[in-house]
Amino acid sequence: MKLEQTKIASYLNTKVSVLNRIEPFFQAPFHSHPELELVYVKESYGKRIIGNSVMPFEPGDMVFLGSDIPHVWLNDEKYYQGIEDLKANSIVVYFHKDIFGPTFYELKETQKINELFFQAGKGISIIGKTNKQIAKKLEKLVSKKDFEVIVGLFEILSILSESQDTIYINDEIYSLMQKDSKVDRLSEVFQYVNKNYKKNISLEEIAAVANMTRTSFCRMFRIKAKKNFVDYLHEIRISNACKLLLESDKSMSEIAYECGYKTASNFNKLFKKVKGITPSDFKNNAKVSFATDYKD
């Protein structure tokens, strides 16, 4: 999966863009751009790759990305099967940092905005009350025009700069110095696992995808992803298993097989290692939680 470097401002002929995208699936390739980006997923499921992080996304997922962070949203397989009722719906805001001008960033009152933009180099996941508050403002921002867009954007950034409802997506600030072949190789690996987690993937096979020796690949993956490849593969499989447990009535054996495990016992063991509870307990807890929420 080759990284594409783009310039959103040039393509859209504006330095601030607010788009409400409704597509069969998210179609943007693995790419980066100098503009900062705020993404709010309204509909669809899948996995997002941001820098070295691969995480599932679902409706309500919201992230703020700094300049030049490689990223892509990959929908679950069923979104590519032409099912009419499935849509990838999101609100996306692109803007260039220089829209506020250099003097703006020298002000004492804007230091929190400065810090927000700096930390956005790690990618920021927005959760909790702040997520809901910004979601409402984004819904309104879509219909605004001209200077109202700038005012609305600034309100959102002000809220975000003061919020504690944030989680850094990567441990380090992404920089231009990190744009090397290893980033592209890691992205190829993420894409390959996303499509092939159901089958057995050996270290030799995945190293070949990255065009590296097994030893070099294991070292590179551990440094970049902060975990070894086998643990990462189990996390992806268990993440998909959780979704099946919540959304289907399939047996444990069927779910185990669909997620790449040959036996239910091995699936149970690894599920508990990743999640801390058994698959059965996970499903039962979800039912209890749903019943309680419904009653309330």
* Structure confidence by residue, pLDDT tens digits, 211-248: 889 998 998 888 777 789 999 899 888 888 888 887 78
Q: What does the pLDDT read at residue 54? A: 81
Cβ burial, residue 273 (10 Å; 0-12/13-18/19+): exposed
Cβ burial, residue 83 (10 Å; 0-12/13-18/19+): exposed
- Cα separation, 157 vs 113, whole angstroms: 7
Q: Delimit the CATH 2.60.120.280 region(s) of the chain.
A: 4-168
Q: What does the pLDDT read at residue 296? A: 45
Q: What does the pLDDT read at residue 8? A: 59
- Cα separation, 55 vs 236, whole angstroms: 8
The fold of the 180-295 domain, in CATH, is Arc Repressor Mutant, subunit A (1.10.10)
Q: How many separate helices (H) and strands (E) can be counted in the chain?
A: 11, 11
- The residue ranges of the chain whose pLDDT is under 50 are 1, 10-11, 176-180, 289-296
Q: What does the DSSP 8-state code read for residue 81?
A: T
User: Half-sphere exposure (CA, 13 Å, Cβ side) for 215?
Assistant: 0
- Cα separation, 95 vs 6, whole angstroms: 13
Q: What does the pLDDT read at residue 291? A: 44
Q: What does the pLDDT read at residue 227? A: 84
Strand 36-43 versus strand 62-65 pairing type:
antiparallel
- Cα separation, 253 vs 265, whole angstroms: 9
pTM tops 0.85: no
Give the residue among 124, 90, 97, 113 at the shortest CA–CA distance from 35: 97
pLDDT, tens digit (0-9, with 9 covering 90-100), for 72-102: 898 887 887 777 788 999 999 999 887 777 7
- Cα separation, 193 vs 188, whole angstroms: 9
Which residues, at least 6 apart from 293, have a Cβ–Cβ distance to it below 8 Å?
none
Q: Which tokens in the block code for residue 202?
A: 């050996």
Cβ burial, residue 6 (10 Å; 0-12/13-18/19+): middle
Q: What does the pLDDT read at residue 294? A: 40
The fold of the 4-168 domain, in CATH, is Jelly Rolls (2.60.120)
Q: Delimit the CATH 1.10.10.60 region(s) of the chain.
A: 180-295
SS3 content of the chain, % helix, strand, coil (to 5): 50, 20, 30
